[in-house]
Structure 1
Amino acid sequence: MTFNAEVLLAGPRGRRLCLEVAAELDPDVRNAVFQLGYELDPGRGTSVVMFGDLSKDAGSRPAASADTLAALLGSMDVPDLTEDLILDALQRSVMSARYWQEPEGEDVLAAIPAIRRALQRVAERAVVMEVLRADSRTQRQWAIDWRGPDDPAPLGRDPEKTLAKWGRAIRADELTWRESRRGPEWTGDWWSIPLGLTGTVGRIPAGLNLVEDYPGWERATTIPVDGAGRTFEIRSEEDWVLLCRRFPLEVSASRRWVWLRTTGREGRWVIPDWELVAREWDAVHLTVPGYLSCAGRALAVDERTGSVIAGWDPDRTIWLTDVVRETGEPRQYWRRSPNGDGWFPV
């Protein structure tokens, strides 16, 4: 599938990126997005609270509405974009992803048909940026250990054991949910990939910022690695669906309520059985286009079955077999800046 503006806007993370770019380019757009995002947020007044009165800053401007925002987006100047602007917007899109509850108000806003159409020009500028078009795993990769130089750790070397443990746990969890018939007040696991496997990224320090559900790490060790195994590339919805059809693992009971909140879809759910995938592939790479167009939305596996890419960062490779090795080049140590807007080497 060609990565174009329509494909970018098909995904919630792609729409959010475009909305973040537009807000950065125009202060009036930023103000309207802030107001409407708050109004549409499911946690408005509880988990999300606004202090002060925006109307005092808005002067004589009328209260924002989806129509007024669409008009602003339609009339704003959209210049050539810079890599820094795109990376900042991508970071905000990644860090606002949440697959265990309803989407943020800004994500709801970007999905409104009139807003989605109005973001078309921004999307057309964004998709030509090289940083968003990388659709293959690079040979040079970096593993990230979220600790500093005083606590070094080698790469994991037993993915088969990790996958076997994951497989047993996820099947036991699914059986527990099925037998207990838990209701919507319960929240189950929401990840689509196993935790504990070696994961690598192709760009540093960008990869330090592009982390879903970021827990607030302040230090990191980046480890130069190389792996020449068979890599399955997830560039589009079709690629993920192919894995789910060939290697389906039922997660309908455990994911029912959590992915209903995220996507609005209720029904049968599957994810790839990564133990079986590992018999054919050494690694699986979620490309940036694949992430932006697919992550967080219900992908149709067949007429009755859906799947979600969740908990997987853009341009991240997960290694299913023991083929990735340190290159012997020096590890690098990083610390997060005090204001939280980037990383600097130690």
Structure 2
Amino acid sequence: MKVYALLISFFALAACSGSDDEPIVPTVPTPERTYYRGMDLSFQSELESYDPVYRDAAGATVNLLDFVESAGTNLVRLKLWHTSEDGQNTLAQVLAYAQKIKQHNMAFMLDIHYSDTWADPSHQTPPAAWQGLTQEQLQTEVFDYTKSVLTAFKNQGTAPAFVQIGNETDSGFLWDYGRVWDAFDDNWPNYAALVSKAIDAVREVNGNDTKVILHHSKVENAVYFFTELQPFALDFDVIGLSYYPQFQTKNLITVQTKLNELAATFDKEIMIVEVAYPFTFEWDDNLTNYIGSADQIIGAYPATPQGQRDFMGRIDNIVKSIPNDKGIGWVYWAPDWVAFDGNETTTTGGSSWENQALWDFDHKALPAMGVFTP
């Protein structure tokens, strides 16, 4: 009987160890990654008052947002100035345009310059309202301002998917409080403290629903910048970069290598938040353009409609191929900044960008628009 009982126990255990009786562990699906092909439309609030006409490739008049959404654009970037010197890019204007973006089912990126005008590596001027503050007072202002801005967007149902803490902050921002260039190269703790306060405000309002971007102006120099920030363990999500061949390396293999190095070194998502390329060296108004000669571009991609399209296709492939899905997209800067009636008045000064727009001089959509199609 004992042997019989033991046999029964053995077979029972064997049966329980069979694959049919093993607990089934449910597979949790990996969320599908969104890859962004975006446009910076920060000029639209101003351009709309002049009612420029935009056309599709066949010449039919289109509504700009309807058209870019249908072309595949899934992200719109807008810059915000604190107390605008020229009445543009104000909080009220950006709030209003964010509502239009939401109505078109596109994500929204907010680029806070923390200045009353353009901020870039050579210009990081604090708002006039913040002049003369102590470092501690400025940190409080940065937190309160960021919180009030994010709250305003949240309250109207347009919380941004991404927010930039400063624009092209290679040199730091809010000079000289957070300056890190030249004689201020030991000032990284102050820069990091200011950025940290802004991030704290984003997290308080939107938690992790809004991804935080830190923005550097040059792909090839960004490793140094983010290495300097590592000791401060800043709570940001995305390395944002500008890439303009006019000002940077023209070797796209170097661009690819540096993007891969950034992703591997810092374990952050990567996005090129500013990129553009000319389709001609000609101009359509009386204002000098930023690009006008062959030495400013990449020889393999001439300043033609097809050259512009091929360049953007290559950029798209480079970002998509960053290992481990760290490359999450790119944003074309000012594709809508065409020449238009009234653009040579003292009000606007014209467009210095119409030969890098995504509409030609007849305002017909260019072939590069096809790169936005998934």
TM-score range, shorter chain: under 0.3
Q: TM-score, normalised by structure 2?
A: 0.25
Higher relative contact order, structure no. (Cα contacts within 8 Å, ≥ 6 residues apart): 1
